[in-house]
Amino acid sequence: MAVKHKQVNTNPIRKLYKVLAAVGSGSSHPRVREMYKTWTRIYRTYIHERFQTYSRGGGDWPPLAKRTVDRKKSSLILIETRTLINAVDPGKYNAPGSYARQQGQGIVIGYGGSVVHPTAAKSGRSFTIAQIAEFHHDGGPRLPRRRIIVGPDRETVLAVTKEVNLTMRDLIREAMQD
pLDDT given at position 25: 60
Which band of pLDDT confidence, cut at 50, 70 and 90, is reported for residue 151? very high
CA pair distance 120, 68, nearest whole angstrom: 16
User: 100-117 pLDDT, tens per residue?
Assistant: 998 888 889 999 999 999
Our CA angle for 44, 103, 101, nearest 5°, is: 40
Burial category of 5 from C-beta neighbours within 10 Å (exposed 0-12, middle 13-18, buried 19 and up): exposed
Beta bridge partners of 109: 100
Percent of the chain with pLDDT over 70: 90
CA pair distance 120, 3, nearest whole angstrom: 82
DSSP string, 81-139: SSHHHHHT-TT-TTSTTEEEEEETTEEEEEE-SSPBPHHHHHTT---BHHHHHHHHHH-
Q: Are 75 and 57 within 8 A, CB to CB?
A: yes
- How far from the centroid of its chain's Cα atoms is residue 166's Cα? 19
The pairing of strands 98-103 and 106-111 is: antiparallel
Answer whether residue 76 shows pLDDT above 70. yes
**Identity at 167, one-letter amino acid code:** T
CA pair distance 6, 9, nearest whole angstrom: 10
Q: Which of 15, 63, 45, 59 is nearest to 175 (CA)?
A: 15
